[in-house]
């Protein structure tokens, strides 16, 4: 029995717009972010997909993206599970800082390493590997079993928590995942086989807008 897993990165947030490190800070969507979520929701509605359950993070930019998407697919009251395991990577001491200011304080190279290495965390924060260490077990125990039962599952989360998932689904190396950016508001539809491997993958929209 084949199940369906749909991943959506939240639309542009207020701090994405201001070029700030956001992490676990709970900021909302910009007007563009709302529009991106609406576009993604419309694209999903056109496929005719109907979901059995939705998962999202503990942060309102992901929750509000999910709400918009569910309205567009005609399922505003769908059962939704929120969990901190799906939160964005915690940027620690960088949270709330402008990325240019961070470069001035720590240097271009060091900030680049924190942002783009796989296992070097910023001070007080998480690396991508650390983020995966909480996302993967949650996926394996809570999300994957439902997909394997043939359910259609929607996950609205964040750039890094979803990159951790895509790394597993697409079997990417740690070098490959570092080059991957996920566009905001663009749904990715995975059909899974019974052995958890990917049967097919479709991206509903333009991934070139990734940032």
Q: What is the 3-state secondary structure (H, E, C) of the chain?
A: CCEEEEEEECCCEHHHHCCECCCCCCCCECHHHHHHHHHHHHHHHHHCCCCCEEEECCCHHHHHHHHHHHHHCCCCCCCEEECHHHCCCCCHHHCCCEHHHHHHHHCHHHHHHHHHCCCCCCCCCCCHHHHHHHHHHHHHHHHHHHHHCCCEEEEEECHHHHHHHHHHHCCCCHHHHHCCCCCCCCCEEEEECCCCCEEEEEECCCHHHCC
For residue 78, the enclosing domain spans 3-14+30-91+132-206
- 171 in any annotated domain: yes
The pLDDT score that the predictor gives to residue 39 is 97
- 23 in any annotated domain: no
The pLDDT score that the predictor gives to residue 23 is 93
- pTM summary value: 0.94
- 107 in any annotated domain: no
Per the structure, how many domains does the chain have?
Answer: 1
The pLDDT score that the predictor gives to residue 208 is 46
Q: What is the mean pLDDT of residues 138-166?
A: 97
Q: What is the pLDDT of residues 45-92, one digit of tens each?
A: 999 999 999 999 999 999 999 999 999 999 999 999 999 999 999 999
Q: What is the pLDDT of residues 97-126, one digit of tens each?
A: 999 999 999 999 999 999 888 999 999 999
Catalytic residue among 36, 71, 79, 88: 88
Model confidence at 152: pLDDT above 90: yes
The pLDDT score that the predictor gives to residue 209 is 44
- 157 in any annotated domain: yes
Q: Domain of 83: which CATH number?
A: 3.40.50.1240
The pLDDT score that the predictor gives to residue 1 is 64
Catalytic residue among 10, 36, 126, 158: 10
- 44 in any annotated domain: yes
For residue 191, indicate whether it is catalytic.
Answer: no
- 118 in any annotated domain: no
For residue 158, indicate whether it is catalytic.
Answer: no
- 38 in any annotated domain: yes
- 125 in any annotated domain: no
The pLDDT score that the predictor gives to residue 207 is 55
């Amino acid at each position: 029995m084949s199940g369906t897993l749909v991943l959506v990165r939240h639309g542009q947030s207020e701090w994405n717009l201001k070029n700030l490190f956001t992490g676990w800070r709970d900021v909302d969507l910009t007007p563009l972010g709302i529009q991106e979520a609406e576009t993604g929701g419309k694209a999903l509605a056109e496929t005719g997909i109907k979901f059995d359950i939705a998962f999202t993070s503990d942060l309102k930019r992901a929750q509000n993206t999910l709400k918009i998407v569910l309205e567009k697919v005609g399922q505003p009251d769908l059962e939704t599970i929120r969990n901190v395991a799906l939160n964005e990577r915690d940027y620690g001491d960088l949270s709330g800082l402008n990325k240019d200011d961070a470069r001035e304080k720590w240097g271009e190279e060091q900030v680049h390493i924190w942002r783009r290495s796989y296992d070097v965390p910023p001070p007080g924060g998480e690396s991508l590997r650390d983020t995966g260490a909480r996302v993967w077990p949650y996926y394996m125990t809570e999300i994957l079993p439902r997909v394997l039962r043939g359910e259609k599952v929607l996950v609205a989360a964040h750039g890094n928590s979803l990159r951790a998932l895509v790394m597993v689904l697409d079997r990417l190396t740690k070098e490959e995942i570092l080059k991957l950016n996920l566009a905001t508001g663009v749904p990715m539809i995975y059909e899974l086989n019974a052995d958890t491997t990917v049967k097919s993958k479709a991206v509903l929209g333009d991934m070139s807008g990734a940032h």
